[in-house]
Every structure is written in structure tokens, then in C-alpha cells.
Structure 1
Amino acid sequence: SAVQSRATGGVAGGTYLFALPGSPGACKDAWDEILERQFDYRHRPCNFVEIMPRLDEHLRRK
């Protein structure tokens, strides 16, 4: 599964970054089963869209 593949992600410079498995099938699974839902604001209990306004906090601290 995509989760067991040691895929990882994070935020750098206000941009989401994801390191996904190398096989096309695993990348498709990661998008279809995990990431796509996280970019849908209706996904509950939480999603990446809710925290997007905070992605530029590093710029406001200066």
C-alpha cells in the first residue's frame, strides 16, 4: 500500500512537498486513496485545504 511504502511529505517555503513511491501504480494509489481527498475541503475530520492559509506564516514572521 502507499502508506507502507515509506512515502513522506511536508511543507517547505509554503509549498506542500510529497515524496511518493517509484512505481506508477503506487503513485496512483497514493493520489487516488490519500492525497486527492486531502485537497478536497469537504473531507473530514481534517484536510490540507484547511491549513493552506497558514502556509505563508514563515513570510509574515520577518
Structure 2
Amino acid sequence: MREIEASKLIFIDELGLNLALLRLYARALIAQRDRGRKPQKRGRNISIIGAISLEKVVALVNI
């Protein structure tokens, strides 16, 4: 890896998420109940793949 210039490296990362994300736990004041809601629909799953170099974002793809 020492022979490769850092400016020529490209890093790729992938992530996935659901559009109906919600918190599973909450906090409330003493003697008060937290009121939360659950989404009625499951939501879509999204996958995102990105590639970056030291200078810029090279590519970003939403699948």
C-alpha cells in the first residue's frame, strides 16, 4: 500500500435503510408516559452505494 499514491485511492461504502425508521425506545419525565406512534405502513427499503476519493464524491447510486 505504500507504493500507491493516496490521491489514486477510491473508497466504496454501501448502506441500507428503511423509510419507516422509528425509535424503539423513548424517555419521559417521572410519572409521565411517553406518547409514540408506529408507522401504519412498513416503508420502502433503500440501498445506497457511494464512492469517494480524497478530493470529491466520485459516484453515488440509489438502488
Given the two structures, how large is their TM-score scaled by the length of structure 1?
0.26
Structure richer in strand, relative to its length: 2
More helix by share: 1
Q: Which has the higher contact order (CA 8 A, sep 6+)?
A: 2
TM-score under structure 2 length normalisation: 0.26
Larger Rg: 2
